[in-house]
Amino acid sequence: MARAWMDEATREQNYAQASKTMEQLIWSIRPKTTSEERRELVAILPEMVRQLNAGLDLIEWNGKPRATFTRRLISTHTLAIRLTQPMPLDTGSAPLDTGSAALEGREGQAALHELEQRRAARQMASAVDSFDAQAQSFQRGMWFDVSIEQGTHIRCRLSWVSPMRTRLLFTNREGFDAFVRSEREVSAMLRMGRMRVLDNEAIVGRALDRIMEGQEKQLVA
């Protein structure tokens, strides 16, 4: 509607059409409790959707946000036709269950959680502390317990460090590449509890014990 109003040459015609489409859109999502209203909705939908898409094309609103809007609009129209009485003005909860609404709700919660994690990481990374010093002291051959994803833990070894320490390569037990992180990213992982330094002497000791045990069994055999 703003774009239609700003174009003086076609303002009168385009703004009137945009206003009509918006009024139809608002009316279309309200519950249709009578057969006459449902027939009217079915009659205006094709032209309303065409005008709506033309307006969205004009402002170049594309991609996932537009697809989500379209999916929600279809679900809302379906809900409006199915209802037999008006919805309460304030139910304190969401409307009837729709797959798209539930999906978007979960996506929104996940996005908020991820945003909070990033904010916390930035706040903790703003000051140089013991985690930075610890990351700077890491050397090749050290072993770590790392949480790559929530609930997923791996044991890895620091196999290579770039000259400027901009890249640290960690490999798994089999020697394959596990992941690469910068020194700053490693210190952030330490702060968030996603990386823990293992007792390397204990690991070496257990490995030697296994070797000696194997040799002893061979001698007994």
Domain match, 142 and 212 both? yes
Q: Quick check: is 116 in a domain?
A: no
Q: What is the pLDDT of residue 88?
A: 54
Give the model's confidence band at 217: pLDDT under 50 very low, under 70 low, under 90 confident, else very high: low
Q: Within a domain: residue 42?
A: yes
Instruction: Indicate which CATH number applies to the domain containing 202.
Output: 2.30.30.30
Query: Using CA atoms, how far apart are residues 211 and 215, in angstroms rounded to an integer?
Result: 6
Asked whether residue 112 is domain-assigned, the answer is no
Digit-coded pLDDT (tens) for 70-119: 888 888 888 888 776 665 544 444 444 444 455 455 555 666 666 677 66
Q: Are 195 and 186 in contact (CB under 8 A)?
A: yes
The answer to the question of residue 96 being in a domain is: no
What is the reported pLDDT for 199? 76
| Domain-embedded: residue 103 | no
Range of the domain at 71: 2-86
> Of 30, 54, 86, which marks where a domain is finished?
86
Residue 93 lies inside a defined structural domain of this protein: no
CA dist 103 and 113 (Å) reads 16
Could you tell me if 12 and 70 lie in one domain? yes
Query: Is residue 37 one of the residues assigned to a domain?
Result: yes
pLDDT digits (tens, 9 = 90+) for 112-161: 666 677 666 666 555 557 888 889 999 998 999 998 776 678 889 999 99
What average pLDDT does the structure give for the chain? Answer: 77
Do residues 211 and 135 share a domain?
A: yes
Of 29, 27, 40, 23, the closest CA to residue 95 belongs to: 29
Q: What is the pLDDT of residue 143?
A: 92
Of 33, 61, 86, the residue at which a domain comes to its end is 86
Number of domains in the chain: 2
* pLDDT for the residue 142: 92
Answer whether residue 12 shows pLDDT above 90.
Answer: no
Q: Is 102 exposed, middle or buried (0-12, 13-18, 19+ CB in 10 A)?
A: exposed
Is the domain of 70 the same as that of 138? no
Residue 147 and residue 70 in one domain = no
Confidence of residue 163 (pLDDT cuts 50, 70, 90): confident
pTM attached to this predicted model: 0.38
Q: Is residue 76 situated within a structural domain? A: yes
What residue has token string 């013991």?
130
218 or 91, higher pLDDT? 218
Q: What is the pLDDT of residues 180-195, one digit of tens each?
A: 899 989 998 999 889 9
